[in-house]
Amino acid sequence: MTDLNINLDATVDFLVELLNTPSPTGYHVEVMPVVERAFAALDVPGLTISTTAKGALLLHLAGEGRAEPIGITAHVDTLGLMVKEIKSNGRLKCTSLGGIMWGGIEFEGVTVRTHSDRRIRGSVSPVNPSVHVNRKIQSTERSADTVEIRLDEITSSAEQTRQLGVEVGDFVFIDPRVELTGSGFIRSRFLDDKAGVAAIYGALAALRDAGLRPPSDVYVLISHYEEVGHGGAAGFPPDLAEVLSVDMGAIGEGQAGDEFSVSICVKDGGGPYHFDMNNKLRRLAETFDIPHRVDIYVYYASDGTAYWRAGGTGRVGLAGPGVDASHAYERTHRDAVRHSEHLLARYMLDES
């Protein structure tokens, strides 16, 4: 049994850089160069990187040719907002990108990116938020109709806001608020799924450090439209035997996962994952003493689901670090990232 060196500090450093780079669904131009540079700098023998017409990254790691090619995918796009309307008071009404929890972003700082790439600070606020003015504010449902962006600029009309360069269709970046605690927790928005991308990075680094090549060719798709359902629908070569989707494990009441383990999802809102893949992931975790939890997520789908629905014929499985408070201010632990990258490395080395 070959020992693998997991350089978790390097993985977390990369993760922090990803978290601090805005990438709401539909806006990939800043984060994809960060991802490409990081994977290229690993200098893994046999690894090549290309970009699809859609803007996703496809990594190809040449294997030893003893098994059929496999795929791994994770997504770098996150939740976010887009300007839907410039209101008469100069504030902004937004539409959500992905499954935003409106109450979960209340009073969060944001940056509005104008079409000319000017960055304007602001914050998310309920309409008429003062409890000294609006006695119903605490019971008002938070939604796109009751929440607005308050710009940190002198503006009180739609015309003044437009003079700042703001227009319908501009992206709004929500502050991630990344924090690493002394006890090993990683707190931030958008650990879904930047923690998964970082785990792939760490797994490839572990194979490089051990001087190991996988038995099969490995294709890694870093997608940027998962949050709206079609990230994994295209980009892979057609002849893959398997695809492992790397995404967060959802934690909550009634769930089996935790923030310290790799979660193996055997069924989600798209139905059960492939029986053989589920069993392979569990076998690898058990064989190599990787702390893991087997779970089911009923309100969830992944790039593996998109791959299947687009006609992908390979077997699909799902695994990733357990993440608390998904689609809000999320948290995981270094251990969950460590165990996820260990399982990924073992998966790439498996010959079954």
Active-site annotation, residues: 226
CA distance 288 to 300: 28
Closest CA to 66 of 217, 177, 284: 217
Cβ-Cβ contacts under 8 Å for 43 (sequence gap 6 or more): 208
The CA radius of gyration of the chain, in Å to the nearest whole number, is 21
Cβ-Cβ contacts under 8 Å for 117 (sequence gap 6 or more): none
- The answer to whether 168 and 108 are in contact (CB under 8 A) is no
Within the chain, how many helices (H) and strands (E) appear?
A: 7, 19
Beta 330-333 vs 92-97: how paired, if at all?
unpaired
Cβ-Cβ contacts under 8 Å for 9 (sequence gap 6 or more): none
Residue 330 class from Cβ within 10 Å (0-12 exposed, 13-18 middle, 19+ buried)? Answer: buried
Please report how the helices 334-349 and 275-287 are oriented relative to each other, as an axis angle in degrees rounded to 10.
110
Supply 23's token pair: 């990438």
CA distance 326 to 291: 21
Closest CA to 323 of 229, 251, 242, 241: 251
- The answer to whether 250 and 297 are in contact (CB under 8 A) is yes
